Amino acid sequence: MPLGYNRVIGAEGKVPAVRPHRVGIAHWPVRMADPRTRTFDVLLGHVASSGYEGVEFGLKDLVDYFPGHAQHVVAGKIHQAVEAAGLQFFGSTLHYQDAEARGRQWRAQLTDQFKLVQDMGGDYVSVQFFLHQDYINTGGAYRGDEEYLGWCADRVVDMRQAAWDLGMNFYLEVHCDRITEDPEACCRLLDLAPCELNGDMSHYLARGFLKGKQVERVLDHIGHTHVRMARVLGDLSAVVEDPALDWQQEGVTWQMFQFMMRALDGGLSSRAVIGETGQMHLVKDTLTQDAALVPLYRAMARYADASATGITMKIARPADLKPWG
């Protein structure tokens, strides 16, 4: 259920419990030179024809499609183009470095950037907040630095409040090299600055963080999700050559679904399941792979829809649910 001032996004004509979850694509899969990305309209055509219902794109990655225009003008053009394609602009993921949050213009910067997301049609912002360089690649050593965690929590409050002041939802993304990378530290931040999380749980799967009270608490705070296939103690972005067979054999598609069930219980406040296949490791054709995984995203949405209305789908083995028919 939504936490604080977050709300259940989606069909306003329906009560929150029955607002359906939708499937979208994040920006990482489309950040590649490809005929399907040569113009913004062509890109949106690919998105619509692949079965997505919307997008979660970032403005800074789209400005090249609209040369010579100010950011606020580009935001309006994006909103119009997405709607014309029969899609919805769900929201954006923004990235902030530690140093940015120590600047004098930090709070004003937040409001300006969040407002641009809203101008594109977005109802939420998801934030990746980078760890201080002293704590990158230290195995979560920052979990013991209470002063630093307190400072991070204050910054989360800044971001959370800036979004809520605009009537937008706020999510802090679970991600390696970010302040959420360590489950124990993430839980401490939830104590100090309660918020909902964007659960990109590939980052925990790939590192083998699969159970325990801290991981469970993180899953319980997820109100939005990015979905990417990952191998336990392996690739953060894994190739799935035959998704239907992978599901049947309890491969990465099944493993991700199983891991996410706890997070999907009760429904996501964003009402959005966002595909984020990355061009990383052996994944080369991100757009094709992500589109092939749309049935998995829809299965997650279906499970969350049922749970939001109090119905628990019993899915103990792959045969209980067949996303690819």
Between CA 194 and CA 169 the distance in angstroms is 13
Q: Supply φ then ψ for residue 287, to 5 degrees.
A: -65, -40
Assigned domain for 159 exists: yes
Q: How far is CA 43 from the centre of its chain?
A: 20
3 has pLDDT over 90: no
pLDDT in tens, 46-96: 999 999 999 999 999 899 999 999 999 999 999 999 999 999 999 999 999
The H or E element that residue 295 is part of is: helix 294-308
**Closest of 200, 190, 99 to residue 143, by C-alpha:** 190
Q: Residue 2's pLDDT is what? A: 59
The string of pLDDT tens digits covering residues 96-151 is 999 999 999 999 999 999 999 999 999 999 999 999 999 999 999 999 999 999 99
φ/ψ of 88, rounded to 5, equals -125, 140
Task: Say how far apart CA 164 and CA 124 lie, in whole Å.
Answer: 9
Full residue range of the structural domain in which residue 280 is found: 16-320
Kindly state whether residue 9 falls inside one of the protein's structural domains: no
Instruction: Give SS3 for 241.
Output: coil
Residue 8 lies in a domain: no
Q: What is the CATH number of the domain that holds 221?
A: 3.20.20.150
pLDDT of residue 5: 86
Q: How many CA atoms lie within 13 A of 48 on its CB side?
A: 15
Q: Does the residue 269 lie in any domain?
A: yes
- Rounded Cα distance between 323 and 30, Å, is 24
**Residue 2 domain-assigned?**
no
CA separation, residue 233 to residues 204, 238, 262 (Å): 9, 11, 21
Mean pLDDT of all residues belonging to the chain: 96
Q: Is residue 1 part of a domain?
A: no
Q: Indicate the number of domains in the chain.
A: 1
H helix intervals, 55-145: 71-84, 106-119
Taking a C-beta distance cutoff of 8 angstroms, is the pair 272, 56 a contact? yes
Bridge-based pairing of strands 272-275 and 222-227 is: parallel
255-294 confidence digits (pLDDT tens): 999 999 999 999 999 999 999 998 999 999 999 999 999 9
CB 40 within 8 A of CB 81: yes
| Cα→Cα distances 228→155, 204, 315, Å | 27, 11, 20
Mean per-residue pLDDT, 34-50: 97
In the sheet where 196-198 sits, what is the strand order?
88-89, 54-56, 22-26, 272-275, 222-227, 196-198, 169-173, 124-129, 91-96
Residue 164, number of CB atoms within 10 A of its CB: 16
In a domain? residue 6:
no
Is the confidence at residue 1, as pLDDT, over 50?
no
Cα(114)–Cα(104) distance, integer angstroms: 18
- Whether 11 maps to a domain, the answer reads no
Q: What are 55's two structure tokens?
A: 């997008």
